[in-house]
Amino acid sequence: MGNKFKFFLTILFIGLQIIGHAQSYKIKEGVKRIVFIGNSITYAGGYINYVNAYLSIRFPQKNYEIINLGLPSETVSGLSEPNHANGAFPRPNLHDRLKRLLAMTKPDLVFACYGMNDGIYMPLEEGRFKKFRQGISRLHTEVVNQGAEIIHLTPPIYDGHQGKTYSDVLEVYSDWLLRQRHSSGWKVIDIHHPMKQELKMQRLKDPNFAFAKDGIHPNRAGHFIMAKAILLSLGAEELKQAKDIKEVLHQYKNGAEILSRIQTLQGVTKDAWLTYVGHQRPKMKLGVSMEQAIKISKDLKIKIQALVNE
């Protein structure tokens, strides 16, 4: 079998897998405040910035307020490996701050991305898997009881030194989340399989290709695949063939500058919100006060709106 034929078969197989995991949702009318929660990948915020920029450009009249409340090291399972961070502190548990977070932010919609830390980088084991399932289910219930909607995101891929063993753990966690669409009626957007398939395709061209140097924290390309999967699920069909965020923003006047302003805005507000809500993780930036953050945010939003309207 020729290499070209193998390549096309691989692409066909990948396409069929992605279609199998695709699902469409719509942000409901009246949604204003959108909160993202998750671990360090969410805190890094690349995919949130891309989603924020696209929604700001395409739907300026919606005036969404997007808050990043990701917390590095956090789990939804409450688990922590022995001697985590060289014994400096155990992994923070979302449920220590969740009720407070929801009461203080009063979101209309929550995106939740957990799983990467929840298997604590060990082989698949039913006890740990059960803790993840219980933690996610508790999260879902808490958000719904608060009167908000929740969209779960499958965890990103793992590509680090634990190799296929931990990669398979996240595959199992992702597939369980995807099954909840049908068994529990949950809204779940798959970012895991699109990242996995893009990695396969890129490695056909370059065996050394990687989204993350450490196998965990995606670079800009990885964050773009995450954002693309979310936006496609929210109906942004025009992004199907987009290769990177520059290609997306190039279609719109001032697109790159709008993203730059949003990155500044998110950089200020995420630390202010984290400190304001409170959490159990040491060595986090305090950021500016909420009062200052609100003022800076208002100024930046006026500038962003002006760029959108030009």
Q: What's the pLDDT tens digit per position in 147-196? A: 999 999 999 999 998 878 999 999 999 999 999 999 999 999 999 999 99
Confidence of residue 5 (pLDDT cuts 50, 70, 90): very low
Burial of 30 (0-12, 13-18, 19+ CB in 10 A): exposed
The answer, yes or no, to whether residue 118 has pLDDT greater than 70, is yes
Higher pLDDT, 48 or 23: 48
Of 19-33, 99-113, 209-223, where does mean pLDDT reach its minimum?
Answer: 19-33
155 contacts: CB under 8 Å, gap ≥ 6: 113, 114, 115, 116, 118, 170, 173, 174, 191, 192
- Virtual torsion, Cα 167, 128, 125, 39, nearest 10 deg: 10
Q: How confident is the model at residue 14 (pLDDT cuts 50, 70, 90)?
A: very low
Between residues 1 and 282, the one the model is more confident about: 282
Is residue 18 predicted with pLDDT exceeding 50?
no
pLDDT given for residue 23 in this prediction: 74
Q: What's the confidence (pLDDT) of residue 24? A: 87
Enclosing H/E stretch for 221: helix 220-233
pLDDT at 4: 45
**CA 38 → CA 238, 283, 292, distances in Å?**
27, 17, 25
CATH architecture for the domain at 27-246: 3-Layer(aba) Sandwich (3.40)
What pLDDT, on the 0 to 100 scale, is given for residue 292? 98
At residue 70's C-alpha, the angle toward residues 214 and 199, to 5°, is 35
| Residue 22 pLDDT grade (very low, low, confident, very high; cuts 50, 70, 90) | low
Residue 59, pLDDT > 60, answer yes
Average pLDDT for residues 223-227, to the nearest whole number?
A: 98
The 10s digit of each residue's pLDDT in 283-295 is 999 999 999 999 9
260 contact partners, CB below 8 Å, separation of at least 6: none
Could you tell me what percent of the chain has a pLDDT over 70?
A: 93
Contact 122, 81 (CB under 8 A): yes
pLDDT in tens, 67-102: 999 999 999 999 999 899 999 999 999 999 999 999
Residue 131 has, within 13 A of its CA and on its CB side, a CA count of 18
Quick check: 152 and 140 in contact, CB under 8 A? yes
> Which whole-number Å values give the CA distances from 290 to 7, 255, 258, 276, in the listed order?
52, 28, 23, 7
* Of 204, 250, 257, 249, nearest in space to 227 by CA: 249
**What pLDDT does 11 receive?**
39
Ordered by start, the domain boundaries in the chain are 27-246
